Structure 1
Amino acid sequence: MKALSVLVVLFATVLALPMASAAPASETLRACRLGALRHELLCGRLTRPLDPARPSGPMIELHYAVIPAAARSKHPDPVFVLAGGPGQSAVSLAGNMLALLQRLNNRRDLVLIDQRGTGRSAPLVCESDESLSLAERLDSARAIQRLRACRTRLQALPHGDLRFYTTTIAMADVDAVREALGAPQINLVGASYGTRAALEYLRLYPGRVRRAVLDGVAPPDMVLPASMATDVHHALEALFSDCEHDPACNRRRPDLRARWQGLLDSLPREFSVADPASGEPTSITLTAETLGAAVRGPLYAPALASALPFAIDEAAAGRAMPLFGLATSLGGGVRATRIAEGMHFSVVCAEDYPLWMLQKTQVPASNVFAQAFARPYAELCRDWPRGAVEPAYYTIGPSAAPVLVFSGGLDPVTPPRHGERVTQALGARARHVVVANAGHGVMSIGCARDVLQRFIDASTHAEALAVDVACLAGLPRPPAFEPARAAAVLPAGAPR
């Protein structure tokens, strides 16, 4: 689940979901080109009711792209890619997905749908904060105020009733695309929030799923703001523990945990850093809230997290630039990873927030990440319009289709504990693969894309579930980063 910025992230009866009639595929698809992709694709759109209970009410356009199979004799079951966030455009990921799933694309179409509220499908996007100074972007009160103003602006749009962007409604849209393409069954590939979407599609339309791959499971009942604070805290604790048990890291940073606590105890604290947008030196006030947000991002990717011991040590010594450099290294500002904030909060506030209030899940006050994530969500969701969510949405039953579940052992937001619980609920046709030293997202690591391809291409359920995953076992954790500087140049007793 991608961060929204350095500070703010980065969720009875069955609701009737009447489906708008879809035109035949030949009438909905046209040749198109996306971004830097060399090959021509097919782009389609469907007209869908904003409120499924009012098929004659306001309508939205649902946009999607098809990367046609390379072979003339292709399989009838395409691969549907469900994006993360919530709030990420799937179509904007076409280049990445083609590179990741190219072998599958030999015999199967790849289908990417801009879920309602994202991309070109009734977008709920707030104004960018890139023009603001770093100090302004780190101001949590200003960020919350900006998002509330955005909500007011979005509500004035023709598609601005924010109650109708839930995962359940969105999966009815996905099935409408399946019908338009004439596919009797589909294969689902979902990552992060996309796994929640895939689980909901599997619940609503079990007979239409042939295979499913879930990478970094975000179950419907995870209560995102509370679980995120807990899971990021555990990921940081694991980083400290690994440093203590790694001779090289422990030799260089023998008191890393104490340095972290000392940094926390010194806050709020003034630092001079270079503004990433202008390069000009600027003064910022580091609070526990901004520190938690800055640390969370690098923990997503072990290669970036390997520099956190150095960055934390530097910040404790009064030099915060390495920490903020890391915090802005995870795709910030890149169009393909842009989050539609209005859609994000419409999902989380409808699906996670009520469950959070019902369970009264408490995060210890000593958890710095609670201040960074739980509090902003609580403030924004308190008065955000919330769609109806049926109780059955939070249940996961046995799956008739084989499901391959990936978890990264170092993942700070969808760690293996979520994947294990979901795998058990899915039953005998689900398999959980934990890659010990992977972070948030496993599919793109090493041989994982080959495992995914063999799982979907397998002829039988038994062959799919028996796919060999041994190639993922030896992935090492990147060693702790140390800048290239000659020890002999440093004066005796100088901090290293």
Structure 2
Amino acid sequence: MYIRRALRPTSRNPQHCSGATGTFTIRTVGTLLAAAALFVSACSSAGTTSSGSSAAEAALAALPRATPSALSSYYGQKLSWRSCGVSGFECATMKAPLDYAKPTAGDVRLAVARKKATGPGKPLGSLLVNPGGPGGSAVGYLQQYAGIGYPAEVRARYDMVAVDPRGVARSEPVECLDGRQMDAFTEVDVTPDDQKEVNGLVDAYKKFAEGCGRDSPKLLRHVSTVEAARDMDILRAVLGDQKLNYVGASYGTLLGATYAGLFPGRVGRLVLDGALDPSLSARQINLDQTAGFETAFQSFAKDCVRQSDCPLDSKDKTPGQVGDSLRAFFLKLDAHPIPTGDADGRKLTESLATTGVIAAMYDEGAWERLREALNSAMKENDGAGLLALSDSYYERDADGRYTNLIFANAAVNCLDLPAAFSSPDQVRNALPAFEKASPVFGEGLAWSALNCAYWPVKSTGEPRRIQAKGAAPIVVVGTTRDPATPYRWAQSLARQLSSGRLLTYVGDGHTAFGRGSTCIDSAINTYLLHGTPPANGKRCS
């Protein structure tokens, strides 16, 4: 499964993007190989569990209102704040139980950051933000964007706060492979042509899983979304807030919805942007996401044929012909990778090129750069542009170092739901459905969904509806042509939540808040500042 993490908001007008970490930083959500465990398909809102039972039979149960005495030391802890990173930000370390079932068995230490409200206006407490993933650094997101880029009126009245979830970035990160091993992993062929290539792919998944199990054995059993949501409630109490105010994007919507399901009486103002559907099985999630990337690619293709520099143009100028051209290009790379000028000698393989294209599907502002990269690769035999897109997606720096995004992504996904597939034969049987969902990406995404079959820790979660009965109004935001979190997921989550309010952006790209729609931003800002949610079903374009 591909990463479900929000882009740093940019203008919706096609252009190059720049951010604190360099030109065009992609803030996405999975990867062809490491992230294939969770989320996508042909869609029923109920979904199916791995045993075949309907998820409509399972709902997330709320925890008791009273805090267990065994957790009192965690809820009563005092954070020691210190200046950190960018001017105006403070950081601290918060403790949470490694295992909530055995609170005395050890701690996990979580990185927390905040930027205090700037005023004027009456303070509204804390606003927790999470960019998704799983595996995206919330602390990094706060310092690089949310703490300085959220609307001034919001920052004036809220302390902007973030916590890296357990296993992520600064919070005891899950580690699996070193840089060279990751380079090899990202180049593995995920469209195997014969049994030898299938075996190679399976070996890559096994080595990845063995690395995670070797380097993070205890933590791997306790990085679930439910545990991370419980950590958020400790943070709420430690910050002195009676209710949790929260903006979660992409996977962050699952985290926020799970919190609401566990603690409905402590829900303040929750915005879930680019929503996930918690009632779906891993296989269905992967299939839905495959269709989502096809939808996004079709939008790109329609735009591409209108541009003079479209490298995938055809005499018929149809999106279908554009898709055929791209598939033909991928097939050429499968047989003959092309040079990139990379200092480490990496060539552009089919897998890396596919990741680069998919990376650009998250934001229509990247389409121009994608056309440039495809032109260089297809006409000049230079794969540098697509490799750069792929590296940005994997969070690989120029020195060959990777963040732990991909490791944490797989760790959370493989724990949250039973594996989408348990064997290569199951993938082969599912290929027709995936290729129908996306003629361009279907085969690769189907094989990518095999990774959790070899995970060293058994999954602890299952598909569940989240109702959060008794919660205050929760705003669920969906974008109609979102590639990573298809619109139908937002519709389903809004229906499941007893107080859900669906807010729709009719357009392209992953997530909607802060990305150029005055209508969306106004509705969300009014809710955050005044507590007045938009009318259920409100649509913006």
Alignment CA distance shift 1:200-1:50 (3 Å):
same
- The answer to whether residue 403 in structure 2 is matched with residue 332 in structure 1 is no
Question: Whole-Å Cα distance in 2 between the matches of residues 251 and 263 of structure 1?
Answer: 11
Q: Which runs of 5+ in 2 are unaligned?
A: 5-27, 39-57, 190-200, 316-321
Alignment CA distance shift 1:398-1:415 (3 Å):
farther
Aligned to 2:472: 401
Aligned-residue offset at 1:73: 6.9
> Is the 2:505–2:512 Cα contact (8 Å) retained in structure 1?
no
Deviations 1:145-202 (A, max 9, x none): 552242132344xxx2422211111111111111122211121100111000001011
SS of 1:61 mapped into structure 2: strand
- The answer to whether residue 192 in structure 2 is matched with residue 119 in structure 1 is no
Question: Whole-Å Cα distance in 1 between the matches of residues 120 and 301 of structure 2?
Answer: 53
Aligned to 2:100: 52
- The answer to whether residue 304 in structure 2 is matched with residue 253 in structure 1 is no
Question: Whole-Å Cα distance in 1 between the matches of residues 459 and 324 of structure 2?
Answer: 45
Question: Whole-Å Cα distance in 2 between the matches of residues 259 and 24 of structure 1?
Answer: 57
> Is the 2:32–2:444 Cα contact (8 Å) retained in structure 1?
no
Alignment of 1:96-495 (within 5 A): 96-101=145-150, 102-129=152-179, 131=180, 137-140=186-189, 141=201, 144=205, 146-156=207-217, 160-222=218-280, 223=282, 224-244=285-305, 246=306, 253-255=313-315, 256-266=322-332, 268-276=334-342, 278=343, 283-284=347-348, 286-287=349-350, 289-309=351-371, 311-312=373-374, 315-317=377-379, 319-321=381-383, 322-330=385-393, 332-333=395-396, 338-354=403-419, 362-364=430-432, 366=435, 367-389=439-461, 393-396=464-467, 400-426=471-497, 429-437=500-508, 439-446=509-516, 447=518, 448-459=520-531, 463-466=532-535, 473=541
Which structure would you say has the larger Rg? 1
Q: TM-score, normalised by structure 1?
A: 0.78
Aligned-residue offset at 1:428: 6.1
Aligned to 1:493: none
Aligned-residue offset at 1:385: 0.6
Aligned-residue offset at 1:457: 0.8
Alignment CA distance shift 1:107-1:265 (3 Å):
closer
Alignment CA distance shift 1:62-1:149 (3 Å):
same
Given residue 412 of structure 1, which amino acid in structure 2 is its aligned partner?
Answer: P
SS of 1:422 mapped into structure 2: helix
Given residue 154 of structure 1, which amino acid in structure 2 is its aligned partner?
Answer: D
- The answer to whether residue 128 in structure 2 is matched with residue 80 in structure 1 is yes
Alignment CA distance shift 1:241-1:214 (3 Å):
same
Alignment of 1:10-89 (within 5 A): 11=38, 20-22=71-73, 28-35=78-85, 37-46=86-95, 48-71=96-119, 74-89=122-137
> Is the 2:420–2:449 Cα contact (8 Å) retained in structure 1?
no
Count the aligned residue pairs: 455
- The answer to whether residue 139 in structure 2 is matched with residue 91 in structure 1 is yes
Alignment CA distance shift 1:4-1:402 (3 Å):
closer
Aligned to 1:483: none
Question: Whole-Å Cα distance in 2 between the matches of residues 94 and 33 of structure 1?
Answer: 14
> Is the 1:65–1:111 Cα contact (8 Å) retained in structure 2?
yes
Given residue 99 of structure 2, which amino acid in structure 1 is its aligned partner?
Answer: D
Deviations 1:131-158 (A, max 9, x none): 56967741354753552242132344xx
Alignment CA distance shift 1:74-1:113 (3 Å):
farther
Given residue 478 of structure 2, which amino acid in structure 1 is its aligned partner?
Answer: S
Question: Whole-Å Cα distance in 1 between the matches of residues 147 and 125 of structure 2?
Answer: 17
SS of 1:20 mapped into structure 2: helix
Given residue 288 of structure 2, which amino acid in structure 1 is its aligned partner?
Answer: S
Aligned-residue offset at 1:436: 0.8
What is the root-mean-square deviation of aligned Cα atoms in Å? 3.9
> Is the 2:312–2:325 Cα contact (8 Å) retained in structure 1?
no
More divergent stretch after superposition (309-318 vs 320-329)? 309-318
Q: TM-score, normalised by structure 2?
A: 0.72
Given residue 514 of structure 2, which amino acid in structure 1 is its aligned partner?
Answer: S
Aligned-residue offset at 1:330: 4.6
> Is the 1:408–1:416 Cα contact (8 Å) retained in structure 2?
yes
Question: Whole-Å Cα distance in 1 between the matches of residues 502 and 29 of structure 2?
Answer: 29
Given residue 299 of structure 1, which amino acid in structure 2 is its aligned partner?
Answer: M
> Is the 1:189–1:214 Cα contact (8 Å) retained in structure 2?
yes
Higher RCO (CA < 8 A, seq sep 6+): 2
Alignment CA distance shift 1:356-1:80 (3 Å):
farther
Alignment CA distance shift 1:333-1:174 (3 Å):
same
Q: Which runs of 5+ in 1 are unaligned?
A: 474-496
More divergent stretch after superposition (448-457 vs 305-314)? 305-314
Q: Tell me the percent identity.
A: 22
Aligned-residue offset at 1:235: 1.9
SS of 1:210 mapped into structure 2: strand
Question: Whole-Å Cα distance in 1 between the matches of residues 430 and 470 of structure 2?
Answer: 32
SS of 2:291 mapped into structure 1: helix
Question: Whole-Å Cα distance in 2 between the matches of residues 38 and 281 of structure 1?
Answer: 39
Deviations 1:226-268 (A, max 9, x none): 3332321232233224445x47578982353342243245452
Aligned-residue offset at 1:370: 4.0
> Is the 1:100–1:449 Cα contact (8 Å) retained in structure 2?
no
Question: Whole-Å Cα distance in 2 between the matches of residues 247 and 88 of structure 1?
Answer: 34
